[in-house]
């Protein structure tokens, strides 16, 4: 039945642009009906190429796209940074960060929540993923905040807010994927994300402090801590700061590329875990296994993105949309607000990494056609969802 419906759909006559529009609509239907994103993009890409050109083009596209989509050397940056994050999780660096910052911020209103946000920010500089950052810190922070009788709304809110820092503070997996898809400098994206990430961290902490100051029941102040205890707590930050300094410092100083930084960070994280005696062979194996699972997911989506990109090029959808938007007598900032609103809605329904891969083939040419800086847009797009 399904093959007959597909053949009937492919026999309908329409322009390439119209086919592109219907392709995007079909893609949305498949995704929101629960179809895996990678396979939805791949299916639409192959069927679209088949319709716009012919059956042979669709099949050849499938044959020549799969290996190049995942076989390039620069793509190794993804598994290396992913593996570094999981190894750091296995070494329990998140617990060290939480305990150290709790002593540093002890005695002020909402200390545990502020500790959670700052620890999320620092762990984000190791992990690079919002979901992993939030989940990791939640396992450490939520029980402590419950013991201290913090309101559930504040406890959950500070972890949810702090987790989002993982997509802004380098080395962000989202920035890596954005750079790979749009062919932008990953190093420049990392640099561009530092100040917004730090500003968000400070703003989150300030908001928590003010809320708890006005309503102490939200987050009771912890016992005061002496200056010597605060200073001694800095020792708990040393392993994480060393790793961050080696990876980001070496990359920003031009000592190694982003890919090499991922490799150096991965090896350093393993050595750090061995020196600190934090994980067993089983722990290391589980970390590597999780890294393989995440990398396989990302690379499968890369294949789907490549197939969809080919169809978008054949249908000239992005080009036509760019020309259409350019001919509209509205400010380019109005278009930007509309795009950001779309990202805000999508961010409520899906993870940011699949969202980036899904939307960039269509949105990015339009945005650059309006004259917006690609690096700036990458940061803004990552911050909105």
Q: pLDDT by residue (tens digit) across 21-62?
A: 788 788 888 877 888 888 888 888 888 777 777 666 667 666
The whole-angstrom separation of Cα 119 and Cα 25 is 41
Other beta carbons within 10 Å of 319: 16
pLDDT value for 361: 77
pLDDT value for 385: 64
Q: What is the pLDDT of residues 273-294, one digit of tens each?
A: 888 777 777 878 888 888 888 8
When pLDDT is cut at 50, 70 and 90, the band that residue 2 belongs to is very low
Other beta carbons within 10 Å of 46: 22
Question: CA quadruple 7, 12, 14, 18: dihedral positive or negative?
Answer: negative
pLDDT score of 297 more than 60: yes
Q: What is the pLDDT of residues 115-138, one digit of tens each?
A: 888 888 888 777 777 776 777 777
- Residue 265, classified by CB atoms within 10 Å of its CB into exposed (0-12), middle (13-18) or buried (19+), is buried
Higher pLDDT, 208 or 283: 208
pLDDT value for 118: 86
Other beta carbons within 10 Å of 36: 16
Lowest model confidence (mean pLDDT) among 94-98, 200-204, 338-342 = 94-98
pLDDT value for 3: 46
pLDDT value for 9: 54
Cα-only R_g, the chain: 23
The whole-angstrom separation of Cα 308 and Cα 270 is 37
Mean pLDDT for 146-156 is 82
pLDDT value for 216: 81
Mean pLDDT for 248-257 is 81
pLDDT value for 58: 61
When pLDDT is cut at 50, 70 and 90, the band that residue 75 belongs to is confident
When pLDDT is cut at 50, 70 and 90, the band that residue 252 belongs to is confident
pLDDT value for 306: 80
Three-class DSSP category at 314: helix
pLDDT score of 103 more than 60: yes
What are the domain boundaries of the chain? Answer: 1-71+298-315, 74-279, 317-385
The pTM of the full predicted model, rounded to 2 decimals, is 0.76
pLDDT value for 1: 46
Which residues are CB-contacts of 279 (< 8 A; sequence separation ≥ 6)? 90, 91, 273, 287
Q: What percent of the chain has pLDDT over 70?
A: 89
pLDDT value for 279: 73
Mean pLDDT for 176-188 is 84
pLDDT value for 69: 65
Q: What is the pLDDT of residues 220-242, one digit of tens each?
A: 777 777 778 777 777 878 888 88
pLDDT score of 4 more than 50: no
Mean pLDDT of the chain: 79
Interior/surface letters 180-215, b for 16+ CB within 10 angstroms, e for the rest: bbbebebbebbbbbbebbeebbeebbebbbebbeee
Higher pLDDT, 317 or 43: 43
pLDDT value for 11: 58
* DSSP type of residue 349: T
pLDDT value for 291: 83
pLDDT value for 57: 64
Q: What is the pLDDT of residues 337-374, one digit of tens each?
A: 888 888 887 777 677 777 787 788 778 888 888 888 99
When pLDDT is cut at 50, 70 and 90, the band that residue 113 belongs to is confident
């Amino acid at each position: 039945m399904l093959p007959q419906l597909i053949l009937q759909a492919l026999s309908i006559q329409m322009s390439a642009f119209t086919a592109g529009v219907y392709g995007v609509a079909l893609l949305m239907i498949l995704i929101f009906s629960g179809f895996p994103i990678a396979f939805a993009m791949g299916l639409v890409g192959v069927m679209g190429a088949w319709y716009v050109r012919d059956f042979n083009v669709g099949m050849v596209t499938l044959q020549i796209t799969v290996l190049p989509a995942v076989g390039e050397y620069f793509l190794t940056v993804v598994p290396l940074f992913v593996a570094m994050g999981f190894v750091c999780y296995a070494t329990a660096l998140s617990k060290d960060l939480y305990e150290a910052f709790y002593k540093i911020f002890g005695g002020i209103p909402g200390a545990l929540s502020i500790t959670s946000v700052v620890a999320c920010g620092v762990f984000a500089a190791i992990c690079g993923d919002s979901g992993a950052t939030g989940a990791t810190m939640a396992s450490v922070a939520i029980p402590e905040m419950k013991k201290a009788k913090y309101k559930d709304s504040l406890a959950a809110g500070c972890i949810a807010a702090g987790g989002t820092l993982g997509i802004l503070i380098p080395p962000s997996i989202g920035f890596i994927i954005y750079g790979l898809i749009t062919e932008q400098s990953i190093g420049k994206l990392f640099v561009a994300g530092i100040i917004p990430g730090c500003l968000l961290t400070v703003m989150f902490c300030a908001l928590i402090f003010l809320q708890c100051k006005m309503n102490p029941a939200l987050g009771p102040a912890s016992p005061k801590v002496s200056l010597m205890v605060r200073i001694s707590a800095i020792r708990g930050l040393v392993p994480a700061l060393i790793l961050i300094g080696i990876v980001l410092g070496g990359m920003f100083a031009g000592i190694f590329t982003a890919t090499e930084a991922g490799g150096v960070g991965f090896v350093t994280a393993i050595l750090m875990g061995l020196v600190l005696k934090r994980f067993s062979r089983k722990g290391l194996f589980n970390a590597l296994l999780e890294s393989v699972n995440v990398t396989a997911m990302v690379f499968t989506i890369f294949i789907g993105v490549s197939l969809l990109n080919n169809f978008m090029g054949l249908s000239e959808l992005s080009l036509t949309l760019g020309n259409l938007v350019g001919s509209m007598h509205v400010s380019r900032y109005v278009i930007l607000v509309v795009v950001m609103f779309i990202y805000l809605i999508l961010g409520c329904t899906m993870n940011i990494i699949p969202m980036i891969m899904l939307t960039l083939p269509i949105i990015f040419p339009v945005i650059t056609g309006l004259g917006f800086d690609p690096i700036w847009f990458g940061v803004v797009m990552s911050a909105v969802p």
